[in-house]
Amino acid sequence: MKKEKNIKSTHIDEHSVDNGNKVMTTNDGVPISDNNNTLKAGNRGPSLQQDHIYFDKLMHFDRERIPERVVHARGSAAHGIFETTADLSKYTTAKFLKKGTKTPVFTRFSTVAGFKGSTDLARDVRGFSVKFYTEEGNYDLVGNNIPVFFIQDAMNFPDLVHAVKPEPNNEMPQAASAHNTFWDFISLIPEAAHMTMWVMSDRAIPRSLRMMEGFGVHTFKFLNKEGKATFVKFHWKPRLGVHSVAWNEAQKISGFDADFHRRDLWEAIENDDYPQWDLGVQLVPEEDEMKFSFDLLDPTKIIPEELVPVKIIGTMTLNRNPENFFAETEQAAFDPGRLVPGIDVTDDPLLQGRIFSYMDTQNYRLGGPNFHELPINRPINGKHNNQKDGFARLDIPKGEVSYFPNSKAEGCPYHAMLKGETGFQSHQQKIEAHKVRERSDSFADHFTQARLFFDSQSPEEKEHIISALSFELSKVDDVDIRRRELAILHQIDSDLAKKVGNNLGLTPPKELDKLTLKFARQNHPDYPIKPKKPEIKKSEALSMKVKPGEGTISTRKVAFLVDDGVSKSSVDKMKKAIEREGAKAVLIASHVGTMKFKEGDTEEIDHSYLTDASVLYDAFYTPGGDSVKKLADNPDYIQFLNEGYRHCKAIAFAKDSEDLIQKTLINKDEGVILESNNNLTRDFINAMKSHRIWEREKPRKVPS
Q: What's the CA gap between 672 and 619, in Å, rounded?
A: 10
Find out whether 200 and 472 touch, Cβ atoms under 8 Å.
Answer: yes
What residues have CB less than 8 Å from 621, skipping those under 6 apart? 558, 559, 560, 561, 574, 585, 651, 652, 653, 654, 684
β-pair partners for 621? 560, 652
What SS3 class is residue 107? strand
Q: What is the DSSP string of 271-318?
A: TT---EEEEEEEEEEGGGTT-SSS-TT-TT----TTTSPPEEEEEEEE
At 628, the amino acid letter reads V
Query: Could you give the CA distance from residue 636 to residue 613 in angstroms, rounded to a whole number?
Result: 9
Read off the DSSP letter of residue 414: P
Q: Which residues pair with 234 in a beta bridge?
A: 281
d(CA 665, CA 641): 9
Whether 63 and 86 have beta carbons less than 8 Å apart is answered as no
**Distance in angstroms (rounded) separating the CA atoms of residues 637 and 231:** 55
Give CA 225 to chain center in angstroms.
34
- Give the residue among 340, 134, 314, 348 at the shortest CA–CA distance from 235: 314
Q: How far apart are CA 371 and CA 364, in angstroms?
A: 10
Q: How far apart are CA 160 and CA 215, in angstroms?
A: 20
Exposure string of 122-151, with b = 16+ CB inside 10 Å and e = fewer, is: bbbbbbbbbbbbbebbbbbbbbbbbbbbbb
Cα–Cα distance, 586 to 620 (Å, whole number):
10
Q: Which one-letter amino acid corresponds to residue 59?
A: M
CB 295 within 8 A of CB 443: yes
Bridge partners (DSSP) listed for residue 314: 84, 279
The span from the CA of 437 to the CA of 435, in Å, is: 7
SS3 sequence of 647-670 = CCCEEEECHHHHHHHHHCCCCCCC
CB 173 within 8 A of CB 476: no
Return the H-helix or E-strand segment holding 559: strand 557-561
H-run or E-run covering 109: strand 102-111
Distances (CA, A) of 345 to 216, 337, 353, 428, 439: 11, 8, 11, 12, 19
Strands 557-561 and 584-589: parallel
Q: Is residue 424 a contact partner of residue 340, using CB atoms and an 8 Å limit?
A: yes
Active site residues: 72, 144
The answer to whether 342 and 222 are in contact (CB under 8 A) is yes
CB atoms within 10 A of CB 405: 10
Q: Phi and psi for 107 in degrees, rounded to 5?
A: -115, 130
Q: Answer yes or no: are the C-beta atoms of 312 and 280 closer than 8 Å.
A: yes
Tell me the C-alpha distance between 660 and 617, whole Å: 20
